[in-house]
A and B are shown apart, each in its own frame.
Chain A
Amino acid sequence: MNLICYMPAELAANHPLRRLMLHGMPKFTRQVYESLPGLERRLTCPGEPESILVLVVSDLQALESLVAMGDLCQAHPVVLVLPEDQDSLHGLAHRLRPRFMTSLTCASAEMEAVLTRLGSRTQSDPGAASGRAKISPEERRAGSERELGA
């Protein structure tokens, strides 16, 4: 099961979500990005196995940038984390068609439960790249950028 996470650098080091993304859920392989260009570079690498995309949004500007990536984000199941008390972002957030949308105050256990369910479905899906067969080294093109905690 693969996880690609975008998490802004300003999210506190001891925030439960950061801890979960970096150190929790041992069954997931993960790539964590703190910059949007880094995330975009990763999403433009072809042939990587299907991954769950966890996007932690700090403000309207970040959300707009993610929506502008459009097709790149929608190639994966998206889990969206919005700042607290930002109901006004909901309309724009749904443009990413998230499979689960929550806020920064979400309990880690809830997030973990959702990701585990999404992950097991991705694995058993005959249409998903990761569900069929591992990509052999010759099929795989090097180039995925792993910024943190991989």
Chain B
Amino acid sequence: MAAILIIDDDHMILRLLSRMVEKMGHQPTTSETLGEGLELARRQPFDVVFLDVRLPDGNGLEGLPELRANGAGPEVIIMTGQGDPDGAELAIKNGAWDYIEKPASVDKMRLPLLRALDYRHERQQQAAPKVLKREDIVGDSPALQVCLEIMAQAAASDGNVLINGETGTGKELFAWGIHRNSARADKSFVVVDCTALPETLVESLLFGHVRGSFTGADRSQRGLIEQAHGGTLFLDEVGELPMGLQKSFLRVLQERRFRPVGGNTEISSDFRLIAATNRDLEEMVAQGQFRQDLFFRLRTFSLDLPALRERGEDLPELVNHHLTRLCQRYKLRPKGFAPDFLEALQAYAWPGNVRELVNVLERSLSAAQDEAILYAYHLPTYLRVEVTKASLRRPEQGDLPVSVDLAPLERLPSLAKVRDQAAAAAEKRYLRDLLARTHGDIQKTCAISELSRGRLYALLKKHGLSRKS
């Protein structure tokens, strides 16, 4: 008997699905809200979840990663009352089993459930999966779990993989992870950096060339495709691959055969392709900048890596992992970090993702020298400034003395008064936070705030703050 969770605020759907599930010999559990559904999934394992999109307390799609990460990773069937192709895409990308539109007949709802249960049954019959070598991939957030699952599937197959993600999200790390977990792990992992190679060089580097094929070719050279024989070819920033070469490369992907520049005979190479990009290839296809047939051929598996800001819960583990690794690399004694250090990191937006985080940790280590604990003070100045500015931009409750749209007209103060009060509140909060960060060090506080010592003391008195505030 399988355990089925149904999350929908429509009583009729709940009754209909519950009856269907019971008739199939399984155990239904129902919930009318997303929050309650997530709580149920945290408490007990489910095999399949029917999840409505529009729920009273939120969008069901937002709960999908967490649902998938719970227990035995239930299969999730998304239900919606409205046609929403973007929502469907998001659901499938986040690992939903299927997507059905309401109203749907009982048969239409039964079919995906049957298939999902068959799939789980088959998976359970298989031998225990081998442990995934994660290399430097750190974290357990739902968003990362989805990626690890796809990474494991890709590693077990020999299909082409397309990895999408912003700069610094770890595209090469995942490509390496797929290679290391695949049957080709003992062979070469060959990197082709499409942004680093001038257009004139790419063809001969990829395909190789024979002696005399062009000016300067005074000896034959094996190309990177040939060097990847038996192993993995990693095409980094594939969006930069020149249009002219995309056609030749497509043929290589189809036939695994190619002709070196100036050569008469074809060479075969048995390689597995992993491509990565931070560009929207679909958009490039629409604009005629990337071949559609190559795009389709590349994405047998598609892996969308989350930005660091989308998996903030992984930050403490990432910081711990990389600090330990960096201390080992630089032969430093292990260092800890104070709460304010982590708080500042958590308040930052990380446009450069994990790569930027590692650079920031490295610079903090450098600034801390022999100190055993890292404080926010050790962080690079640009980051501290950014975090402070962001905290000042964020409106806090009570910033404004009145709510303009709620207060009676006769009680509304003048704009000047509102402005003065808001400025005073921001000034007080800035000074309080800055003193906390500098641990009451007046000299540092003056330097960062660009206030004279006299002016700083006057402001502290005005706002009733002390050095230890």
Q: Which residues of A contact B (CB under 8 A)?
A: 44-47, 50, 71-72, 75, 77, 84-85, 87, 90-91, 94, 97-100, 103, 105, 107, 110, 113-114, 117-118, 121, 125-129, 131-133, 135-136, 138-141
Contact = CB atoms under 8 A, between A and B. Distances in A.
B362 A47 contact: yes
A140 to B, nearest CB: 7
B366 A140 contact: yes
A127 B353 contact: yes
Contacts of B353: 127
B105 to A, nearest CB: 50
7 A-B pairs closest in CB distance: A47-B366, A127-B352, A127-B355, A127-B168, A126-B352, A127-B356, A99-B193
Contacts of B367: 47, 138-139, 141
B219 A105 contact: yes
B195 A117 contact: yes
B381 A141 contact: no
A26 B408 CA distance: 68
B189 A91 contact: no
Interface of B: 167-168, 172, 176, 188-191, 193, 195-198, 201, 216, 218-219, 221-222, 227, 231, 325-326, 329-332, 351-356, 359, 362-363, 365-367, 369, 380-382
Nearest to A99: B193
B219 A84 contact: yes
Contacts of B218: 105
Contacts of A133: 380-382
Contact of A132 (B197, B365, B382): B382
Given A47-B366, A125-B352, A133-B382, A75 B219 contact: no
Contact of B188 (A50, A94, A110): A94
Contacts of A45: 330
A77 B237 CA distance: 14
Given A97-B191, A126-B356, 18 more contacts: A44-B331, A46-B330, A90-B188, A94-B190, A94-B231, A97-B189, A100-B196, A103-B221, A105-B219, A114-B196, A117-B195, A126-B351, A127-B167, A127-B356, A128-B359, A133-B382, A136-B381, A140-B366
A5 B172 CA distance: 23
A60 B213 CA distance: 29
28 contacts: A44-B329, A45-B330, A46-B330, A46-B332, A46-B365, A47-B365, A77-B193, A90-B222, A90-B227, A91-B188, A94-B190, A94-B227, A97-B189, A100-B193, A100-B196, A114-B197, A117-B195, A118-B193, A121-B195, A127-B168, A128-B355, A131-B352, A132-B359, A132-B380, A135-B363, A138-B367, A139-B380, A141-B369
Contacts of A98: 191
